[in-house]
């Protein structure tokens, strides 16, 4: 799932951007894509492992993704998408705190929506 998510998010973010907006959209896409990839890498089978270091890496990746999503203030659509991403991340954070495997599907979907919102702002 990881590579497909990264490509889908990055591709969606770069469509429709030009000039300064393209740079902003690209930076947003790269940041969020990297965050999702880091999360995907660290969260694999986290619920089945007793490795505290892996759980901490997953928690750290979720926090970074949430922090980066909160930096989005480009427009109403982008802010709405960022809020959806934050909510999906919070749900995953709760799963990790409960020792369960986080559901990354809603995070990937919300990250894609955020990238599309950024792209449409261009």
Q: What is the pLDDT along the chain (122 residues), one digit of tens a residue?
A: 444 444 444 444 444 444 565 566 557 767 888 888 888 888 776 555 567 777 888 889 999 988 888 776 556 677 788 888 889 999 999 988 888 888 899 999 988 888 787 766 55
Predicted local confidence at residue 19, as pLDDT: 52
Query: According to the model, what pLDDT value does residue 107 have?
Result: 92
Specify the pLDDT at position 74: 58
Q: What is the pLDDT of residue 89?
A: 92
Distance (Å, rounded) from C-alpha 55 to C-alpha 57?
Answer: 6
| Residue 2 CB-half CA count within 13 A | 11
pLDDT given for residue 2 in this prediction: 47
- Terminal CA-CA length for the chain: 28
pLDDT of residue 20: 62
Q: Give the domain ranges of the chain.
A: 2-120
Q: Count CB neighbours of 122 within 10 A.
A: 19
Q: Widest CA span of the chain, in angstroms?
A: 48
Residue 10 CA to its chain's centroid (Å) = 11
């Amino acid at each position: 799932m990881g590579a497909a998510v990264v490509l889908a998010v990055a591709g969606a973010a770069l469509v429709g951007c030009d000039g300064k907006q393209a740079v902003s959209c690209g930076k947003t896409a790269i940041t969020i894509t990297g965050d999702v990839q880091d999360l995907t890498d660290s969260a694999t089978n986290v619920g089945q492992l007793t490795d505290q270091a892996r759980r901490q890496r997953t928690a750290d990746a979720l926090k970074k993704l949430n922090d980066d999503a909160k930096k989005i203030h480009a427009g109403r659509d982008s802010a709405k998408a960022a809020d959806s991403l934050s909510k999906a991340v919070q749900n995953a954070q709760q799963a990790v705190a409960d020792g369960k495997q986080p559901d990354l599907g809603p995070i990937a979907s919300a990250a894609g929506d955020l990238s599309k919102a950024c792209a449409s702002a261009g």
